[in-house]
Structure 1
């Protein structure tokens, strides 16, 4: 069976950067499933799978087409129960929902305030115009104004991970001895920052950095190849 994951890139297709797509890339490796990744520019997404979604990731698995990273993860656990679980049961799904909410409301806005212009720089001309218009509408200000206090945001960034830091001091992963989808949610956010801005802006000995390095080492270090 051929699986296709539609993900996001800029002008350089070797640098996929979407945090949501990285969650699914990690999830597919976690499940041990082969797949082909088709990396699309922002403005090419409507052409994927007859416009099933305005955003990526989109997964085609045989006759099934699933959009949204969390829905894809839930689908993978249901469709491939014999492969390693992404959630570890119903409680793990609830935990991952909480982690997703934390990431989307605390981490993603902070990363945007750090890396918005870095993301813009990765895009082709048509995508640059789309990205500026859509993000300035979303934030209600120019991109330059969004990142005006970038250095202050970088200084405050490590503190936003205190719940994660507290946990990974005690165990290797959010999921315990092994990663679960909750790990990939936070990993996706930091990989987004790493690819776009070149750093995660935390000390090398920070427990969060050490956890992130463990995640980068997963699956033969495939995530390290994108930089």
Structure 2
């Protein structure tokens, strides 16, 4: 049975961009589970699966509906234990929680500024209005005021990747010898920026760039099938 992944898109249905939805997509592919993406725009999220969640991703696996990328990964791990592990045990799941916290508090905080206006511009008018209102309320500033920090965030972004860069000197993946869900968490953040923004955040020859390219090639090039923003 094909699993349904409700995925966030803008005006182009072939360019899903949510970092959390990318985490779920990579987790499904890691498990080797067939899945189908359904396109959801911001203003239609409350209609997904009867309003089960205020955000996507949401998956439907037969009669089971699960929201939140980490809970989706945990569900897949428990439901399909015979398929490749996403965590490599309880310790790996706990580690992934730390990676998620670091990614969202450090990387997402910067990328939310860098890609803010780019995301707004790829949305349909009704979604642009929602996005502007919700983000300005959250940030306490207009999109334009937030974007004034964009150049500074781009300049400082490489430094935020230092923990990952140092770790990659001793192992090829966050998961060790092979990728785990922790890798997909960080990948989702960088893929979010890659798909929405033309900002150059990764340098050729950097260990993080090499790791990200390996992630793009995983699962028959699932991530690379969506071209980078022009």
Q: TM-score range by the shorter chain?
A: over 0.9
Question: 2:44 maps to what in 1?
Answer: 44
Alignment map for 1:74-223 (pairs within 5 Å): 74-223=74-223
Deviation at 1:152, TM superposition (A): 1.4
1:48 Cα shift? Answer: 1.1
- Return the alpha-carbon distance in structure 1 between the equivalents of residues 200 and 30 of structure 2: 23
Contact 1:120 1:132 in 2 (8 A): yes
| Alpha-carbon distance in 2 for matches of 1:206, 1:13 | 32
Of 168-177 and 97-106, the range deviating more from structure 2: 168-177
Distance across 2 between alignment mates of 1:222 and 1:20? 15
- TM-score, length-scaled by structure 1: 0.98
| Counterpart residue number, 1:11 | 11
Deviates more, 1:188-197 or 1:164-173: 164-173
Distance 2:51 2:175 in 1: 35
Query: 4+ residue runs of structure 1 moved beyond 2 angstroms?
Result: none
Deviates more, 1:164-173 or 1:187-196: 164-173
2: CA distance between counterparts of 1:154 and 1:225?
25
More helix by share: 1
Q: Cα deviations across residues 95-139 of structure 1 (Å, max 9, x unaligned)? A: 000000001100001001111000001100000000000000000
Measured against aligned partners, the alpha-carbon deviations of 1:75-106 in whole angstroms (never above 9, x if no partner) come to 00000000000000000011000000001100
Q: 1:200 to 1:61 in 2, by over 3 A?
A: farther
Count, aligned residues: 227
RMSD across aligned positions (CA): 0.8
Partners in 2 of 1:216 and 1:47 — Cα distance?
31
Whether contact under 8 Å (2:154, 2:199) holds in the other structure is: no
Q: Deviations over 1:166-189 (max 9, x none)?
A: 111211100011100000000000
Residue 71 of structure 2 corresponds to: 71
Q: TM-score, normalised by structure 2?
A: 0.97
